[in-house]
Each structure stands twice: as structure tokens, then as C-alpha cells.
Structure 1
Amino acid sequence: MVDFIEKNGKGLNLTWEVRNGIVKHSKGYRDILPEDSKELPATLEGQAVRVADIIAYLNHDMDDALRAGMIRESDLPKHLREVVGDRPSMRVDTMVRDLITETLRLDDGRLHLSPMMQEVIKDLRSFLYNKVYRNERVHNEFEKAQKIINELYSFFLEHEFSDNTEHPFVERPPVRGDKARKQLHRQVCDFIAGMTDRYALGIYRHIFMPKPWSVL
């Protein structure tokens, strides 16, 4: 995306520090702030973005799950509520204050969370994985999304955009040779990877869903 897709294939003119921050940005089950500095962004700004994103998505995902009725506030384990609070603003505030306090206390040129807060965030992340991310309702939506992506991939392997607004897609000319096929595969994957959710759904509807006839 950074090197070959943006700006019509020219890539973005980013500094080493920004590129390093992108590479070392992490979600999932990996450590929030690993002890090994080689696994962290080299700059404090990159580390701050990494931690801020984890704090933000955990709390936002919990809020979304609460609003959707997938979980209740009381479902959150008691020890987590006792440490970070039982309101969204309290949870964010507690985590951010811990980050600031622990970083200033150690003062060694990198960001830190207290061991207790690291465990709390890991437990909160595990709670969301078990109760939300792996919830059957969410999993069903993942399967729908996977179907959309697979069908878009198959379609764009065989079609490309045209200049005709009434017929915006035309069949691709035959692709010969392993190198050309691999290049096409990469181009289609990159194109789909760059889609927003809304764009992917919109283009899927345009390609695959029947359009209603207007009645005069």
C-alpha cells in the first residue's frame, strides 16, 4: 500500500520513522508494549500511536457490543471493573493515566504500562475475543464479508474498468505466463485491500445485485 499503490503506483514519500511506526504497529494477541525494544516502534510517537490505538479499539469495541446488546456491563469480570471502572470514559482515563504515570516513573526513553494494567488490558482483550469477536452473530457477518471479498476477487481477475459509464466493466484480455498471472493476482488483491467497507459493499451491489426497473 505505502510503496506501490498510493499515488498511482508511485508510493508515498514517508520518513523512515513513519514507516517504522507502521511496521511495528500491532493489534491482536501480541504484547502491548513488548520488553524487547526491537519489537517496538523506534520513536515515542510511534509507541504512543500503538498504545493509543489498542486502548481506543478495545473501549470502542466494548461500547459497540454494549449498544448492540451482545454483552452487558455486568458481564465484564469484576476485577476489570474494579481496576478500570465501569464507564467508557473511566476506562480510557484510567489506562491513559497509568501510561503517563508509569512512563514518567521509569523515565528510560520509552513508554510503559504498569504490569497490573498490562494484565488488565490483556484480560479485557481476551474477554472481547471470547464474548464478541468470536460470537456467532459476529462470525456470521465475517462469513458474509468473506463471500463478498471472494466474489469480488474472482470478478476482477476476469474484468477491468471501462470508460463506458453504462457498461463500466469489460472482460480482461487473456493473461499468459506465470509472471503476468501473479502480477494480476497481486493487483487485484491490492485493489480490494484498499477498499473501504462502504465502497466494497457498493461495488458488490453494483456488480452482482439486480437493479429495480423504474416504472413511468
Structure 2
Amino acid sequence: MRSGGERWRAAYACDPGASRGRQHGAGASPTRSEFQRDRDRIIHSTAFRRLKHKTQVFVFHEGDHFRTRLTHTIEVSQIARALARSLGLDEDLAEALALSHDLGHTPFGHTGEDALDALMAAHGGFDHNAQALRIVTRLERRYAEHDGLNLTWETLEGLVKHNGPLVDEAGRPRERYAAYGVPGAILDFDAEFGLDLSTHASAEAQAAAIADDIAYDAHDIDDGLRAGLFGLDDLKAIPFLAEVLAEVDDRYPGLETPRRIHELVRRVITRLVEDVIRESEARLAEAAPGSAEAVRQAGRTLVTFSPAMADADRAIKGYLYPNMYRHPKVKAVRADADRVVRDLFARFTAEPDAMPEEWRAGLSGGGSAGADEGRIARRVADYIAGMTDSYALREHRRLFASTPDLKLG
């Protein structure tokens, strides 16, 4: 394991100088690598700024110390860079992928996504990874010469495939897409600018994906404790957390609760990160990939938890699901948020003129009734998905007589 201050590039790292390029040609920068340019374009995008007021688990106004999509994204970025540095990967690509991984999320967290997916069932559904791709390739309209951010192939590939291949070698959907198929937005873009959907993504994308898991585990424990949904002693039901808590209590007996929480969370992050580095070094040494392409063709994930830590990760998520995400207080807020999204979708699809001009432009005429219905539904889904929590609630108040408060009871 290399020291945190040592920078190097392994043979299996993505090389910005050997990028497969961009969909729309662009001249090289004299001061930034191609992946640095991607990172900067993401940071300056409208969708990135909106993450500040999008829910992680709690609604945006519940408290100043709870995570939003933006604070979560920053934490993922920090962890992804730490992993990339230790493993000899391109830190800028890992950071760009971490910064962009949540761009496609709706307001109100997974509640918003679940609602839009159900409402769009007749029109291809809604998937936040596919939505992120739509945002960076179509919906961001900032440049004079093209729609989207015109990111490199490596960033787009990692955005779509960071959790693994989407199809098998025969083109059949796999994993999360096996039941309903790969979203049309991904397939359509792949036909224009092939992303090799049957292979794994780069090691940088894998680092960003596992960084997301690490950040989720740590900050959801932190936020759940601060919200009073469970207590520190309740977490002792998870052997991994019980061990870490015992270490904290042995070293700092009688420590006040806020400091005890922080000492737990920082140790959880450290142990998870160090485990990924050790396991990934071993897997990379065994596979001995001589290039970034060899990582994609390895047939398995190379940057990940050890089996023992993967069990601990599942145990943490297994505890948080019923005790946090499905806590009665959180479920009540989720039900109200679901109503807001469904009300907005119904009104905008029935009355597209209720949307701002830039969103309703070009929707009238030009196709069959069924095609128009699908086109309107997708435009409405794009509009709602891009909303912040606060904007969605303002739109609901503008259009309806009563709007739920969305606060934990």
C-alpha cells in the first residue's frame, strides 16, 4: 500500500493522452488533461449545482448537518481520489466520475425516482443512470456548438458502467437490467457512440463506484444517529460496528455522544477504504492487467471490498434499510413526496403549457397521438427529474391548493 502523498500511474490506469475522444471534436487544452476538462465541465454544470438542494435521505430543510446529494457527492469524490492515488489510477477521471454519478437523481431521493419510474412505465421507465447520461449528452445546453457537456468516452463509459457490464456478450441485459431491459436512452446513445456495454468499466470507474458505497455506509450511519432514528448501542447488532465501537470506547471511555459518533464514522471510513486498497492491490496483482483495456476485459470487478468486508457492507445496509430508509417517520415523508411528484407529473402531462417555455417548446404536433404522448411524458420526466426539492415544492404550491410539509414527525 503506497503512502497517501505518493503519486504514480500504473500501466492499467486510463491515460488522458490516449483517450478515445469526444463525440464532438474539441481541440486540446494547453493547461489541462482531457479528464481534468471533464471534471471542470461537470462542476460548472447546472445539474451539479442543483445537487445542493436535492435530498439524500432527509428532505433539504430538515437540518443543516444532514447530507444532501451535493455533500454526498463531495464525500464520494474525496474517497475516490484517495483510492485512485493509492492504486496508481488517474485521479482526475476517478473524481469526474464521482462528481457526476448522482446527476440523474430526482428530487426527494429514491422516492422521486420510484415515482417517476412507475409513471413512465409505459414509456420506457425512469433510471437515474440513464438520466445522468441524458443530462451530460443532451439536456445541459450551455455550449454554442453542441448539446450536453461533450465529455470523453472514458467518462461516459464510467458513468454508464460503473456498477459493471449492462449486457452479456450476446447483448442480453444482465444484473439490474435483466428483468426490464437496458434503458432506451443508454441503447440509443450506444448506437451513436459505442460504450462497449458488455465489458467492465475502467478501474477509475470501479473506484468511484465503491467510493459511493463507502460514503453511503458512513454518512447514513451518521445522519441516522443525528436524526434519532436509532442509537449507538443499537448498532452493536452489527459485528463490524460493534468491534469499531468497542475500540472507540476502550480508548476514550465516557466520551460524549457527538464525539463518539464522529470517532465511529471516521474509523468506519478508514477501515473500508484500507480494505478496498488491500483487496484491489491483490486482485490487480493476480490479474496483472497491462492496460486499461485489460481491466475492462478482466471479466470481474478488480476494485472492490474483500469478501469479509463485503459481508460487513451488506450487514450495514441490511440494518439501515428497515431502521432508516423504512423508518415510520421517513416513510411518512416519502409518501408525501411521492404525492408531490405524481401530482406534478399528472398536471404537466395534461397541461404542458404549465411548464416554462424552454420545456414546452416543440411539444405540439409532429407525430401520432401515441408518439406525442410518449414525447410529452419524457419531457415532463426530464423537467421533474431536474428539479430540486425546494423547486418541486414551489411548483406544487403554484399549481395545487395544498402542499405537504415534508418534515419528519
Name the TM tier (shorter chain). Answer: 0.7 to 0.9
Equivalent pair of 2:207/2:304 in contact (CA under 8 Å): no
CA offset at residue 39 of structure 1? 8.0
Indicate yes or no: 2:273 matched with 1:96.
Answer: yes
Q: What residue number does 1:10 align with? A: 147
Aligned-residue identity in percent: 32
CA distance in 2, matches of 1:139, 1:181: 32
SS in 1 for 2:354: strand
Indicate yes or no: 2:361 matched with 1:160.
Answer: no
Count of residue pairs brought into register by the alignment? 194
1:13-39 CA-to-partner distances (Å, cap 9, x unmatched) read 12222122222345xxx89xxxxxx88
The unaligned stretches of length 5 or more in structure 1 are 32-37, 164-168, 211-216
CA distance in 2, matches of 1:7, 1:15: 17
2:393 aligned residue (198, 201, 216): 201
Paired residues for 1:113-152 under 5 Å: 113-152=305-344
Equivalent pair of 2:138/2:147 in contact (CA under 8 Å): yes
Equivalent pair of 1:40/1:47 in contact (CA under 8 Å): no
1:81 aligned residue (234, 241, 251): 241
RMSD in angstroms over aligned alpha carbons?
2.9
CA distance in 1, matches of 2:317, 2:203: 23
CA distance in 2, matches of 1:102, 1:84: 20
CA distance in 2, matches of 1:121, 1:200: 33
Q: Bigger relative contact order, structure 1 or 2, given CA contacts below 8 A and separation 6+?
A: 2
Give the letter aligned to residue 338 of structure 2. Answer: Q
CA distance in 2, matches of 1:39, 1:81: 37
> Could you state the TM-score of these two structures normalised by the residue count of structure 1?
0.77
SS in 1 for 2:147: coil
2:227 aligned residue (68, 73, 77): 68
Equivalent pair of 1:20/1:41 in contact (CA under 8 Å): no
Equivalent pair of 2:214/2:272 in contact (CA under 8 Å): yes
> Could you state the TM-score of these two structures normalised by the residue count of structure 2?
0.43
Pick which of 173-182 and 148-157 moved more.
Answer: 173-182
